[in-house]
Amino acid sequence: MKVLCILYDDPKGGMPSEYPLNSIPKLEKYPDGMTLPNPESIDFTPGELLGCVSGELGLRKFLEDNGHTLVVTSDKDGDNCTADKELLDADIVISQPFWPYYLTRERIEKAKNLKMAITAGIGSDHVDLQAAMDNNVDVVEVTYCNSISVSEHQVMMILALVRDYHNQYAIVRSGGWNIADAVSRSYDVEGMHIGTVAAGRIGLSVLRKMKPFDVNLHYFDRHRLPKSVESELNLTFHESVESMVAVCDVVTVNCPLHPETEDLFNENLISKMKKGAYLVNTARGKICNRDAVAQALESGQLSGYAGDVWFPQPAPNDHVWRNMPNHGMTPHTSGTSLSAQARYAAGTREILECFFDNRPIRTPYLIVQNGQLAGMGAHSYSEGSATEGSEEAAEYKK
C-alpha cells in the first residue's frame, strides 16, 4: 500500500545532533487509566524530533520492511502541491493538526484508493468528515496522546497573559528596566474566575492544574461531569456558554471544531464576556472569529488573547492575529512537544499495525468508521465539515 505522510519542515539549521535532555519520562497510563500507545515495536528513540519531514514519525523502516511505500512531504498547499499529486493513488494519508493537510471533499473524491486518514495527534477537523463519511474513508486519531501537553501550554499562557510576561520579557530583551511599564498590565491570577468551554480530557486537565492557584473554576459542556468531580474541584457548571463567559476573568477554549462550534466566539459572544477578560484558545482557530478578537483587543473588551491555533495553518503572513495588541500567540506547538511526539508517533504506528493485520483499532481512536461518526467522533463531533476557506493557507510565504 501507499502511505502519504504530510509533516512540517525540518529545523532551519538541520536536524538536531543532540537534545537538551537525554531521555523523557516513561509513562504507562493517562490520567483516566487508558494505556498509552502500544505498538509491537518502534524504530525511534522517544524524545527525538519525529514530527518533521526527516523525522518521518519513525515509520519508514516499518513500512518498507513490510512492502509498503512511504511518501513524506511538507508541500501541502496551493495548486500542484506535492501532497495533492501523491494523494491520487494513496491508500492512507497521515497528517498533523500542527501542519494540517486539509482533506477537502474535492481531494477525497479524487483519491480513489483512499481508505483511511490518520491524524498524528488529536483533532481531525482538517478532514472534511462529511465527505469522509460519504466516500467510506475511515478517519482515526491518537486520542489523548497530547492532551496533557496542550493543557500545560494553556496554563503557561494563562499566567503569561495575566502577569503580562511577554511585555516584561521584551523590556529585558531591549535593555530596559522600566518597572512601571512592566507592571502596568500585570495582575495576580489568585481569586480570579477561570472557565473552560468543554471539560473533556484537555479542559478537565486545565481545571485540575489551575485549582492550586486558588481560583474559582467554571465549565460549560454538553456532557456534564460527574458530581464527584464537580465536588472535588469545586466546579460551577453552566447550562450555556453565555452564562459562563459573563462571570469569568479568563476563558479557555477546549472544544472540537465542527459546524456547531465554528465561529462560536464571534462579536456577539465576546461582547457578553466580562470587560477586560482574557481569552485562551488552544482548541482550533476557527472557533474564534479572527476580526472580532482583534477588534476586542483594540477596544479593551479583551485584555489579552493567546493561543497556538490559527485558521488556516500555516496562517497567512498578513493574518491579523500576528500583529494585534496584547496577544500571546505561538505557532501550533502545544501538542507537538518532543514528549508528545513520542506518543503520537507510537500511536500512529499502532493504528497502522492494526489496519494491516486486520485487527480492530481502539474505539477511542475512531472518528469516522464505515461511513458514520464512531468512537470519539460520535462523542465529540457533529456531521458536516469545517474545512471551508482552508485554501488561504497557500498565502503563507516562508
Annotated active-site positions, please?
A: 146, 284, 313, 332
The residue count of the chain comes to 398
Q: Where are the alpha helices (DSSP H) in the chain?
A: 60-65, 82-87, 105-110, 129-134, 147-162, 165-173, 179-183, 201-210, 227-233, 241-245, 267-271, 290-299, 338-356, 375-380
∠ CA 32-33-39, rounded to 5°: 120
Longest Cα separation, the chain: 65
Bin 358: left if φ > 0, else alpha if -120 < ψ < 50, else beta. Answer: left
- Cell triple for 378: 460520535
Distance of alpha carbon 25 from alpha carbon 23, whole angstroms: 7
Instruction: Give 116's contacts (C-beta < 8 A, 6+ positions apart).
Output: 91, 92, 93, 137, 138, 139, 140, 355
Strand partners, 127: 103
DSSP 10: P
Preceding amide of 97 cis, omega within 30: no
Distance CA 219, CA 205 (A): 12
CA atoms within 13 A on the CB side of 386: 24
Burial code of 297-335, b = ≥16 C-beta within 10 A, e = fewer?
beeebbbbbbbbbbbbbbbeeebebeebebbbbeebebb
Centre a 10 Å sphere on the Cβ of residue 109 and count the other Cβ atoms it contains: 13
Count the helix, strand and coil residues of the chain and give each as a percent rounded to the nearest 5. Answer: 35, 15, 50
Asked if 123 and 257 count as a contact pair (C-beta separation under 8 A), the reply is: yes
- H or E, element range at 349: helix 338-356
Indicate the angle between helix axes 147-162 and 201-210, nearest 10 degrees.
50
252 and 194 Cβ atoms separated by less than 8 Å: yes
